[in-house]
Structure 1
């Protein structure tokens, strides 16, 4: 088995929260991420493996009713037992990963946001020292990730984009209600109530988190 540098997942997952001044962040429209697999040009068959320490993962959470985006990442993702495949997707299928929650990083200049997320979001959940997951590829080449979070396993469909013979990107949306985590969303919203209040006077933290990963492969 192997562990993929993801999510943003994990990551994912907590980016549903932010405590930065709304005025300094750009507003973005609501978008639904496609969940079907796509390939620009199918990579040639060969022997592929995931390059350790090369995968880049980011996530985007949203606040206020205007859906202001707040980005972040996890600085550490543990992979194990990397295997070979005839295609990049085959090399990813079955990959398992573990993300230390403490490696959360949102690059907020005052240094106050990350501790709030760890305390008021993750601190209200179960078994969140690590976020565990497994990458899956179906017979029709559609991709998804099983994520273990808050003591529950649920699936995130992913859009696959081939960026060349040895590079691919993946995008998905983690809906936190699928992991019974709406209580944690409410907790962080209360802790950041003023900073999550928009022009309409309503404080809101969205329960969806967009996840993106760029994966590089060795090809023999």
Structure 2
């Protein structure tokens, strides 16, 4: 009888021990992992541009209201996160705070290009240099840009020449549509082929 009592007591201890271990287990769905490194703030990407008209090179500014950024990855630096990222911009999202001008840009500039729906590009870091591989009018060119990273905001500034993208026909088209508006004091109507570009992405 003593042996049976000892066995029963031992089994009881084993059962209690197993129950305690089961209580310490954490269900898989309750395990939380924290994101590490830099993260892009949703919908924080911005792109703007400055074109020029008249012989005096009067600036005309605008932006795009839609920018899609793809292929971002995790990293501890903005270079790691953004390297190889692809962005696309619908031409119809052009915005200058002037509906009539926006319509002319869409109809007489963007529609005069090949593959008019989207402006596409990739971000690449090559040593100390940053380039945007832009595709405009079916032509892809590496455009060097200056960059800054301050207060977790990545910003780029550069200049493109539409002649490099075989897009002078589109420049002539918009100049014709805006002929009188692009006249300067000398009476000459001119639309420049160089366009300043800038963009930013906010991190957290």
With the shorter chain as reference, the TM-score category is 0.7 to 0.9
Higher relative contact order (CA 8 A, sep 6+): 1
**Structure 1 residue 167: Cα displacement:** 1.4
Per the alignment, residue 102 of structure 2 pairs with 114
Per the alignment, residue 173 of structure 2 pairs with 187
Per the alignment, residue 62 of structure 1 pairs with 52
TM-superposition CA deviations, 1:113-169 (whole Å, max 9, x none)? 11111111111111111111100101x2311100111111112111011223x1121
Corresponding position: 1:149 with 2:136: yes
Equivalent pair of 1:57/1:73 in contact (CA under 8 Å): yes
Equivalent pair of 2:73/2:80 in contact (CA under 8 Å): no
Corresponding position: 1:103 with 2:93: yes
Please tell me whether Structure 1 or Structure 2 has the larger radius of gyration of its CA atoms.
Answer: 2
Equivalent pair of 1:50/1:92 in contact (CA under 8 Å): no
SS at the partner of 1:116? Answer: helix
Report how many aligned residue pairs link the two structures: 169
TM-score, normalized by length of structure 2? 0.79
What is the distance in 1 between the residues matched to 2:185 and 2:132? 36
Mapping of residues 9-88 of structure 1, within 5 Å: 47-88=37-78
What is the distance in 2 between the residues matched to 1:80 and 1:168? 16
What is the distance in 2 between the residues matched to 1:191 and 1:135? 33
Mapping of residues 196-211 of structure 1, within 5 Å: 196-211=182-197
SS at the partner of 1:112? Answer: helix
Structure 1, gaps ≥5 residues long:
1-45
RMSD: 1.3
TM-superposition CA deviations, 1:20-59 (whole Å, max 9, x none)? xxxxxxxxxxxxxxxxxxxxxxxxxx71232221122211
Per the alignment, residue 157 of structure 2 pairs with 171
SS at the partner of 1:50? Answer: coil
Per the alignment, residue 217 of structure 1 pairs with 203
Equivalent pair of 1:127/1:151 in contact (CA under 8 Å): yes
